[in-house]
Amino acid sequence: MSIDLQQRMNNLGPWYHKIQLPGGLVTPGHDWEPLWDNIRRATTSTDYTGRRVLDIGSMDGMWAFEAEGRGAADVLTVDIGVSSAERLFFCREQLKSRVTPFFNIAIEQLEVNKGILGEFDIVQHLGVLYHLPDPYVSFPQCRALMRAGGVLAVETAYIANLPMSCMIFNGVMPADADDGYWWRIYKGSHPQWAPTLSCLLEMLLLAGFIPDTASISTIEQPVTHGVNADAPGTAYQRGRVALTARAAERKDITKEVIAEVLAAAKP
């Protein structure tokens, strides 16, 4: 491994993902292996061979490169910012990858250009949902870009200790406050929502997907920062959930299918 290459990589930081590169080089991202492994467990049965893949919110591109490594024929990435562009291009160069990145673009812009881009077999929607101001909207946008029978891979923060179908708003607090009293999910204003599992499954069904309940994989995280102002003396148990869902025709989402899927969310 070249010292110059190592220095070049370090100068591109801060890195988000830890990406294995040739020559023993590993990008200096977060040590969040339990979170990454949770996604890999959920997608272990997904066949990427020869598939067209869209990776949303790619940042450094770890999941795009993993999709390519699993045999995907064509991988496109999108991210609304450009701050991670140099890091993704560095990894693309080292891996001799054919991943095609789009920066400073939102998924609705892809939907407008569907006639040019074509349909995708797999869409990776990983670590995105809980950051969105209008989280549900992104699911039908994904469905519009997919062929029937395609696979949506989802990962998000979720609320693990509520049985009802609802979504929890993260809260509002002055930027200089440090006790986290109003943060219900994560301290900070950027994470905005966290659904319960039943809410997540219902949103997917409504958007035209049939969740694969056998793929559901979860991990628990520490109880949310501060106090649960909605119910003093209690706290929201946050976690991460990953699963896959099949892009279905509307006629296939029957009341029997809905009942079977939602039964998986019961405690």
Pick 57 or 234 by higher pLDDT: 57
- Tell me whether residue 42 is in a domain: yes
Indicate the angle between helix axes 85-95 and 62-69, nearest 10 degrees.
Answer: 20
Q: pLDDT (tens digit, 9 = 90+) per residue, 42-98?
A: 999 999 999 999 999 999 999 999 999 999 999 999 998 888 999 999 999 999 999
Q: What is the pLDDT of residue 161?
A: 87
DSSP string, 40-55: HHHTTT---TT-EEEE
State how far the Cα of 100 lies from the Cα of 65, in Å rounded to an integer. Answer: 10
pLDDT band at 34 (very low <50, low <70, confident <90, very high): very high
Q: Please measure the distance between the N-terminal and C-terminal CA atoms of the chain and give it in whole angstroms.
A: 50
State how far the Cα of 29 lies from the Cα of 84, in Å rounded to an integer. Answer: 12
- Tell me whether residue 25 is in a domain: no
pLDDT at 229 exceeding the cut of 60:
no
pLDDT band at 209 (very low <50, low <70, confident <90, very high): very high
- Tell me whether residue 13 is in a domain: no
- Tell me whether residue 182 is in a domain: yes
- Tell me whether residue 4 is in a domain: no
Q: What is the pLDDT of residue 112?
A: 60
Cβ atoms < 10 Å from Cβ of 223:
13
Say if CB 132 and CB 141 are below 8 A apart.
no
Distance of CA 126 to the CA centre of its chain: 1
Which residues have CB under 8 Å from 140's CB, separation 6+? 207, 208
Pick 185 or 148 by higher pLDDT: 148
pLDDT at 197 exceeding the cut of 90:
yes
- Tell me whether residue 18 is in a domain: no
- Tell me whether residue 124 is in a domain: yes
State how far the Cα of 58 lies from the Cα of 124, in Å rounded to an integer. Answer: 9
pLDDT at 267 exceeding the cut of 70:
no
> Which CATH number covers residue 44?
3.40.50.150
Q: What is the pLDDT of residue 81?
A: 82
- pTM for this model (two decimals): 0.91
Q: pLDDT (tens digit, 9 = 90+) per residue, 165-177?
A: 999 888 776 555 5
- Tell me whether residue 17 is in a domain: no
Total number of domains in the chain: 1
Q: What is the pLDDT of residue 264?
A: 84
**186 is in which domain, residue-wise?**
32-263
Strands 74-79 and 193-195: unpaired
**E-assigned strand segments in 86-183:** 100-103, 120-126, 146-159, 167-169
Q: What is the pLDDT of residue 2?
A: 65
pLDDT at 245 exceeding the cut of 90:
yes
State how far the Cα of 61 lies from the Cα of 78, in Å rounded to an integer. Answer: 10
Say if CB 148 and CB 249 are below 8 A apart.
yes
